[in-house]
Structure 1
Amino acid sequence: MEVTERTSATGLQAHIRGERLATSDGVSAKEILVEIFVRERSEAHTVVPAVAEPLLVWVLSGEAIVEERVANEAWEANTVVTGDFFLTTSPVPYEMRWQVTSYEPFVVMHLYLGLALLERALAEAGGSGAIQLREVSGGRDEALSALLEQIRAELTRRGETSALLIQGVAQCVAVHLARHYVDAEAEDMSRRNALPAFKLKRVTQLMEQHLAEPFSLCDLAQAIGMSEYHFSRLFKRATGRSPSQYFIQLRIARARQLLLETERSVIDIGLEVGYGSASHFSQIFRREVGVAPSHYRK
């Protein structure tokens, strides 16, 4: 069976059996997607594709034994109950299986925070701005649960859901994760001999100001008085990505924002972020996000 390596946040539901009970997909809250599912009582094996955004899964109801592993490594089992959570940041597909052990249905809430929102929260907390969160399986955090409960209550209330409220709580969740769930080891490694913060800020600002123009490693290195080789090496240590990869992700983040917040055509949006043809833009977007721009907008 062919395994999908990557997918989008909205596309993940097709890979895990269960019924979707609620979604924020139709709410105009920026940088957040929330979905509530009731899962099958038993799952012998499923492969979960990697998703660009870190995924929070919060157990709303039921008790289950959940097992996870990467590739063909040993299974790691956790017994989870209402209020427990998972934080998944895996850049590669992983395998799951579970068995519900309670009479109550196994109901979970998925929450995806936009990369740009998380990076702002991490930068504010003193990190490099790169996504460096640690994995959590079957954890418990009362402060986080209180924030997630506000989102759940708003999403399932009668009447119109407030995008402003969901967006505000999402920012609180991002700050909480940045303060308490940073991968300290990865953060320490990225800081050693990394690009100084003021130079990193300078080059990322230049990238954001010139998204429509061709990427130039030479121009960025010259702007902070470094050779291309040393700039590229220290930039990757600071962010976890090469300058060109970071530039592409800035382009795609801007494209995603325009697709969700405007009615502009896919061609126009592609041109604004530097892609001269719709096919090239669609190819890069699909590679980075997991779906085509038109599908992402829907």
Structure 2
Amino acid sequence: MTSAERTSATGLQAHIRGERLAASDEISVSDVLVQIFTRERIEESVTVPAVAEPLIVWVLSGDATIEERAAGEDWLASKVSTGDFFLTTSAVPYEMRWRVTSPEPFVVMHIYLGLQLLERAIRETHEGASGSIRLREVSGGRDETLSTLLEQFRVELTAREKTSALLMQGIAQCIAVHLARRYLDAEAENIAERNALPAYKLKRVVLTMEAHLDEAFRLADLAHAAGMSEYHFSRLFKRATGHSPSQYFIKLRMTKAKQQLIETDRSIIDIALEVGYSSASHFSQVFKHQVGVPPSHYRK
């Protein structure tokens, strides 16, 4: 992927090689979305979307060199280890790559905090403040208090038979207050003023796409899943990911096809049918345009 190609990272398991270990998807918590992933040891390029909420990425295991850049800018490198974190409030998608430098698996947690929760925390912790969400960016930082709070998310998602929505909500409130106390930046952009797509809506749309890769693209269904008009949804989706919904749908199809080509011995026509193409020649044409080589060459 080049820096000009922008793909969403909310459906992270679809575009970043690795495995999703746990997530808060199944519980009803309006103010926080938490996901835990194990990642491949080398990743050449992935993109973090520009969604409404700030994103915290916390390293659960492994040492790595992580590089970041906005489109057209130079790479900025950070060496991270277990307990380090990133706080991102970018208004545009940005690119990341990494190399793991330790024998342990590379496991990370992603946390999106709701804007209303952060606004309440800021009003409470800063007397007279308007509640404007202006947080500073952090790359490869270390914060023992934040780590202690995030560890409670990990335990709740991975060590309990049933995740408590009430407990997840309480932890999110504690994190919001901590961010308001320690990471406010008076000169930063007010995140709440952006007309951006919330992370949970982007995730819901991506999951809807993934469940229907073998069917025709239907913009109306995706807009309905996001609770928006087709025009408003299309505009915010492209702002978040850099792709129109239809372009992104094709990229998800090609991601699934690449996985099948590498991990199975299924025929190309069977794979084509699974990702919505009734003709092997049409599938091959689209695949070559998106990936750069025909399916048969990619498999080899």
Bucket of the pairwise TM-score, normalised by the shorter protein: 0.5 to 0.7
Work out the CA distance in 1 between the residues paired with 2:31 and 2:234: 18
CA displacement 1:196-240 (0-9 Å, x = unmatched) = xxxxxxxxxxxxxxxxxxxxxxxxxxxxxxxxxxxxxxxxxxx87
> Residue 186 of structure 1 aligns to which amino acid in structure 2?
A
Contact persistence 1:16–1:48 (CA under 8 A): no
Query: Which of 222, 225, 229 lines up with 1:281 in the alignment?
Result: 229
CA displacement 1:116-138 (0-9 Å, x = unmatched) = 11122122233332221110000
> Residue 80 of structure 2 aligns to which amino acid in structure 1?
V
Aligned-residue offset at 1:285: 4.2
Work out the CA distance in 2 between the residues paired with 1:30 and 1:280: 18
CA displacement 1:91-114 (0-9 Å, x = unmatched) = 101111100000000000001111
Contact persistence 1:12–1:49 (CA under 8 A): no
Aligned-residue offset at 1:186: 3.1
Aligned-residue offset at 1:29: 1.8
Work out the CA distance in 1 between the residues paired with 2:227 and 2:86: 37
Aligned-residue offset at 1:158: 3.3
Contact persistence 2:149–2:175 (CA under 8 A): yes
Structure 2 match to 1:161:
163
SS of aligned partner of 1:186 = coil
Matched, 1:106 2:106: yes
Query: Which of 168, 173, 176 lines up with 1:174 in the alignment?
Result: 176
Contact persistence 1:19–1:38 (CA under 8 A): yes
User: Structure 2: where are the runs of 5+ without partners?
Assistant: 205-225, 246-300
> Residue 137 of structure 1 aligns to which amino acid in structure 2?
S
Work out the CA distance in 2 between the residues paired with 1:135 and 1:186: 9
Name the count of aligned residue pairs: 212
Bigger shift: residues 283-292 or 133-142 = 283-292
Structure 1 match to 2:33:
33
SS of aligned partner of 1:51 = coil
* Higher relative contact order structure (alpha carbons within 8 Å, sequence separation ≥ 6): 2
TM-score, normalization by structure 1: 0.63
Bigger shift: residues 112-121 or 91-100 = 112-121
Structure 1 match to 2:287:
none
Bigger shift: residues 103-112 or 281-290 = 281-290
Work out the CA distance in 1 between the residues paired with 2:181 and 2:151: 20
Aligned-residue offset at 1:144: 0.5
Structure 1 match to 2:92:
92
Aligned-residue offset at 1:183: 1.3
Matched, 1:22 2:22: yes
Contact persistence 2:64–2:101 (CA under 8 A): yes
SS of aligned partner of 2:65 = strand
Contact persistence 2:115–2:192 (CA under 8 A): no
Q: Percent identity?
A: 63
Q: Give me the CA root mean square deviation.
A: 3.0
Work out the CA distance in 2 between the residues paired with 1:173 and 1:286: 32
Distance 1:121 1:154, change over 3 A: same
> Residue 144 of structure 2 aligns to which amino acid in structure 1?
E
> Residue 157 of structure 1 aligns to which amino acid in structure 2?
A
SS of aligned partner of 1:160 = coil
> Residue 45 of structure 1 aligns to which amino acid in structure 2?
S
SS of aligned partner of 2:187 = helix
CA displacement 1:144-175 (0-9 Å, x = unmatched) = 00100111101112311111001001000011
> Residue 147 of structure 1 aligns to which amino acid in structure 2?
L
Work out the CA distance in 1 between the residues paired with 2:187 and 2:83: 27
Structure 1 match to 2:207:
none
> Residue 138 of structure 1 aligns to which amino acid in structure 2?
G
SS of aligned partner of 1:50 = coil
Which residues of 2 match residues 1-298 of structure 1 at below 5 A?
3-4=5-6, 10-126=10-126, 127-186=129-188, 241=193, 281-285=229-233, 287-288=235-236
Contact persistence 1:133–1:183 (CA under 8 A): yes
Aligned-residue offset at 1:73: 1.3
